[in-house]
Structure 1
Amino acid sequence: MNTGDGPFGPVVNGTQIVFFEYRPNEAAGYAFLALFGIAALVHLFFILQLRAWFCIALFLGGISETFGYYGRARASKDPSQVGPFIQQNLLILVAAPFLAASIYMSLGRLTVGLGAQRHSVISVRWMTKIYVLVDIGCIGSQFVGSIIPASGDPDAIKNSRIILIAGLIVQLSALSLFIFTCWHVHTRVKRNPPDMLLENPALQWEKYFWAVEGMTGLMLIRSMVRSIEYLQGEGGFVISHEVFIYLFDAVPMLLIMVILAVVHPGRLIRQVRGFKALQ
């Protein structure tokens, strides 16, 4: 076991490859393991209860976060080991695009459910596909960028950061366009309600759009801080302080899962189906 104070990482050809600038906090890792594990199980229940299959990506994201923070807890014992470092780095990074995919699909389901397709800037049929394809690209880039450092080669680690930054910037751009798309549909529906809302004025639809916009905002904050972290590189202020990964990654991602549990789009979709069945 490495009992020093950091930085931690293997020594390759006489050069230390830095995995962590500090010893990861074991208690914090296990705490978020438990929180994400509970959130993932709650969403699994809602997927089955509401038949909200579009939220499977959210469940996978929650599982990734759970085992990612397990990796951080494991890394506390010996931060120089490759396995726990790759586990936490890969799974925590990959979890975000899974959660983002569920947010994208939520807007598509809400728009179609309310019959508000005409208010979307992008065709709803293509909107979800485009954003999810972007997300798959982000998952791929973050997967590759997280695995490469295992080689211990300094050039490979440098290249992995470039790949990760590129993936994060693409995700940041997609989220910015998406929040505008959501806001546009939201405001147009409010000004010119579709028939479903005119016939059922008691339907509490607006809180679902606020939820999607709030979750996208949290995702934007997370992506911006992560981009700054990798742009600063080794020894940077963000990467050198563990509080940032919890405050600007773990907490926002957990809040997204909590918001989607409290204001689940599947409930509105089920209400809409019930109204249509009565007509």
Structure 2
Amino acid sequence: MANDSSYVLYHYTPNLPCAILLAILFAFTTVFHLYQRIKAHSKYFNPFIVGGIFQIIGYGARAGSHFFMHSTILYAIQSLLILLAPTLYAASIYMVLGRIISFLHGEHLSYIPVKWMTKVFVAGDILSFILQAAGGGIMTSGSENTIKIGQWVIVAGLCVQLVFFGAFVITSLVFHIKIIRSPTIESERFMNKHGSIWPRDWRGVLFACYSASLLILIRSVYRLVEFVQGNHGYVMSHEVFLYVFDAAMMFLVMGVMNVFHPSFVLNEKAESPVSQPERNFQWKSDVEMQQHSFSSPRD
């Protein structure tokens, strides 16, 4: 971290109970995500789980900073890991959309080819990750001027994240509108006909992705304002903003994806809401045909 005396690691004493509580909450939801990933073999959620681990370590280091406020190592760990975790969430969410489109055989309804969709969005996410990580690394050492450079590199990374996330949300909405207007056989088959506020089918997964995206966008805007203002800005000087616009938002992201995990729909072994009635109908049809053959007069 900078040796410049004008740079202050914390403008407050990091709140110990809040840091411990967040570390515990993120540990709980991350373990649950790990269980869901293993059970459903959903490899596309690996980055999401790593993001959860980042949060656990980050808030654990932040709890340690309560006792060692001048430890640059603890400050760097918590700052970088909490900053980078959402980019890992985004990577998994990007991959979910492509899988939903392929699952519903709706490739013709997406204005971005599915074979390029995941690659494009994940590439933007990786670029954002690299920029934010590089900016965070620059901030951990050097003069005050170097720290300012690091802050603006992070701002660039956050801007990249916002652009790609905005494009992702638009892509999702366009596909959603098109498949409602021109449904595929699969989209109608894998649709829960029972009325509910949040359907437990592919629509529910899309709504979960929308919710997670909105929460990450809010958090990214907060971070953008924070780093534009700089180390002595009002936002960075008040810890409450971190817990309201970052910690709470990201915990909700993980919680929403726990409840509406994509594997409920995308797992090939999962039963669709209408598959069992269809089987019963098929079974009854077979029985009726057999009965008819036995009762029909012989030639």
TM-score of the superposed pair, with normalisation by structure 2: 0.85
Deviation at 1:198, TM superposition (A): 3.4
1:13-52 counterparts in 2 under 5 A?
A: 15-52=5-42
**8 A contact 2:29–2:255 mirrored in 1:** yes
**8 A contact 1:10–1:18 mirrored in 2:** no
- Aligned position for 1:247: 244
**8 A contact 1:104–1:128 mirrored in 2:** yes
- Aligned position for 2:223: 226
- Residue 190 of structure 1 is aligned with which of 180, 185, 197? 180
**8 A contact 2:2–2:140 mirrored in 1:** no
- Aligned position for 2:287: none
2 CA distance for matches of 1:124 and 1:58?
Answer: 21
- Aligned position for 2:260: 263
Larger Rg, first or second structure (1 or 2): 2
Report Cα offsets for 1:194-232 as digits up to 9, x if no partner. 111334543732111111111111111000010000011
Could you tell me which runs of 5 or more consecutive residues in structure 2 were left unpaired when the two chains were aligned.
194-200, 283-299
Task: Kindly report structure 1 stretches of 4+ aligned residues shifted beyond 6 Å.
Answer: none
- Residue 59 of structure 2 is aligned with which of 45, 56, 69? 69
2 CA distance for matches of 1:271 and 1:151?
Answer: 49
**8 A contact 2:19–2:63 mirrored in 1:** yes
State the AA in 2 paired with 1:101.
Answer: A
- Aligned position for 1:101: 91
Deviation at 1:46, TM superposition (A): 0.6
Could you tell me which runs of 5 or more consecutive residues in structure 1 were left unpaired when the two chains were aligned.
1-8
State the AA in 2 paired with 1:253.
Answer: M
User: Residues 109, 237 of structure 1: CA spacing in aligned structure 2 closer, same or farther, 3 A cutoff?
Assistant: same
**8 A contact 2:219–2:249 mirrored in 1:** yes
State the AA in 2 paired with 1:165.
Answer: V
Deviation at 1:274, TM superposition (A): 5.1
State the AA in 1 paired with 2:162.
Answer: L
**8 A contact 1:97–1:139 mirrored in 2:** yes
- Aligned position for 1:116: 106
1 CA distance for matches of 2:244 and 2:115?
Answer: 35
1 CA distance for matches of 2:57 and 2:204?
Answer: 31
1 CA distance for matches of 2:91 and 2:80?
Answer: 17
- Aligned position for 1:5: none
Report Cα offsets for 1:239-279 as digits up to 9, x if no partner. 11111111111111111111111001111012687569x89
2 CA distance for matches of 1:133 and 1:50?
Answer: 25
Name the Cα RMSD after superposition: 1.9
User: Residues 109, 158 of structure 1: CA spacing in aligned structure 2 closer, same or farther, 3 A cutoff?
Assistant: same
| Pairing 1:147–2:137 present | yes
2 CA distance for matches of 1:164 and 1:190?
Answer: 39
- Residue 164 of structure 2 is aligned with which of 159, 174, 196? 174
- Residue 213 of structure 1 is aligned with which of 198, 210, 215? 210
TM-score of the superposed pair, with normalisation by structure 1: 0.91
State the AA in 1 paired with 2:17.
Answer: A
- Residue 126 of structure 1 is aligned with which of 113, 116, 121? 116
Report Cα offsets for 1:44-65 as digits up to 9, x if no partner. 1011101110000000000001
2 CA distance for matches of 1:10 and 1:148?
Answer: 10
**8 A contact 2:2–2:139 mirrored in 1:** no
User: Residues 150, 202 of structure 1: CA spacing in aligned structure 2 closer, same or farther, 3 A cutoff?
Assistant: closer
2 CA distance for matches of 1:85 and 1:238?
Answer: 17
Deviation at 1:126, TM superposition (A): 0.7
1:268-279 counterparts in 2 under 5 A?
A: 268-270=265-267
User: What SS class does the counterpart of residue 239 from structure 1 fall into?
Assistant: coil
2 CA distance for matches of 1:236 and 1:199?
Answer: 53
2 CA distance for matches of 1:251 and 1:105?
Answer: 24
State the AA in 2 paired with 1:78.
Answer: F
